[in-house]
Amino acid sequence: REAAAWETRFEVGQTRDGHRVEVAANLGNTAHAADAVERGAEGVGLLRTEFLFMAHASAPGLTTQIGEYRQAVEALGGRPLVARTLDVGGDKPLPYWPVPQEDNPFLGLRGIRLALTQPDVLETQLRALLMASKDHPLRIMLPMIKDIAEFRAVKVIYDRLLQEIPASQRATDVQLGVMIEVPSSALLAPSLAAEVDFFSVGTNDLTQYTLAIDRGHPELSAQADGLHPAVLRLIQMTVAAAHSQGKWVGVCGELASDAVAIPVLVGLGVDELSVSARQIPLVKARLREFDFADAQAIAQLALSQATSDEVRDALEAR
């Protein structure tokens, strides 16, 4: 099965009847972009830029960041790069950016909240991404957005940079989107969809925050299942809001590479799946096993269950 998938890895991601679903790579290191392309990635759907920041003793400057991002952009050869802005705090501390001791770091200064406390660092990163992606499609993605106010705060900086940097020196095919990984943002997806260019659902954090289960908890994390009907309903709301405004939706959490979950996500209308590079051929092969109408029926079946176990049982029975 794996050998057959490898043979067809450069085919586009689509269901058996030709419904298009882009299959992209999650990367923590820009040096791995070439390998992702070799495995059939149609783009990078999540570049976790925090690893670049963690690899330095202080925040990397503009030139260093441009060099890093450029490596991914060049390997991608015109395929889109979805780069997430710095997502630290919570379980991902940065030694040179100390956060006061918090009782609940997962509910504290992390993601975009933390980034907005040092807007100059965020601005340098946005500038580096824009300049590194000259003549290439760039999608900038903001982590842990809980409502439109946080998006607007970043948009002010972003719009100013688009004015400041001459168009000849930066990306012109560029979109600014947000991760949906906090339940409030899924519930408020209609208001976000009116202003953002795209959504990408981070099912790891969305599941953690919806079910109130620490994603790394030694005993409980097995219950943090993204196929929980509560999580699926939030994804359904997100897709409906996005599509009604002509925006696209990806999924970049672990759920995107779960063979059982793939038809559910496709049936909910997800446009892109972003997974670790080695999973790409298998995800493309999985997509070719069902028709879009089947996926829609499977999604409805999943949504009508009451627990994640019920969802998995119902899907397996089918």
Residue 252 interacts with, from ligand PEP, Mg ion, none (CB under 5-8 Å by kind): ligand PEP
Q: Using the rule CB under 5 A, is 202 a contact of Mg ion?
A: yes
Amino acid at 230: A
Return the axis-axis angle of helices 308-317 and 229-244, rounded to nearest 10°.
80
Vertex 82 angle, CA 183 and 200, to 5°: 20
Residue 253 interacts with, from Mg ion, ligand PEP, none (CB under 5-8 Å by kind): ligand PEP
Residue 13 interacts with, from ligand PEP, Mg ion, none (CB under 5-8 Å by kind): none
The footprint of ligand PEP on residues 190-229 (CB under 6 A) is 202-205
**Closer residue to ligand PEP, CB minimum distance, 133 or 200:** 200
3-state secondary structure of 75: helix
Q: Using the rule CB under 5 A, is 50 a contact of Mg ion?
A: no
Q: Using the rule CB under 6 A, is 253 a contact of ligand PEP?
A: yes
Q: Give the containing element (helix H, strand E) for 179.
A: strand 174-180
Residue of 22, 42, 150, 181 interacting with ligand PEP (CB under 6 A)? 181
Of 248, 194, 255, give the one whose Cα is nearest residue 226.
255
- Shortest reach from residue 33's CB to ligand PEP, in Å: 17
The footprint of Mg ion on residues 161-200 (CB under 5 A) is 181
Maximum distance among all Cα pairs of the chain, rounded to whole angstroms? 57
Distant-in-sequence contacts of 222-226, Cβ < 8 A, 24+ apart = 223/308, 225/308, 225/312, 226/253, 226/254, 226/255, 226/258, 226/261
**Residue 257 in contact with residue 227, Cβ under 8 Å?**
no
Count of residues that interact with ligand PEP, criterion CB under 6 A:
9
Residue of 252, 262, 282, 311 interacting with ligand PEP (CB under 6 A)? 252
The footprint of ligand PEP on residues 40-99 (CB under 6 A) is 46, 48
**Closer residue to Mg ion, CB minimum distance, 40 or 202:** 202
The residues of the shown chain that bind ligand PEP, judged by CB under 6 A, are: 46, 48, 181, 202-205, 252-253
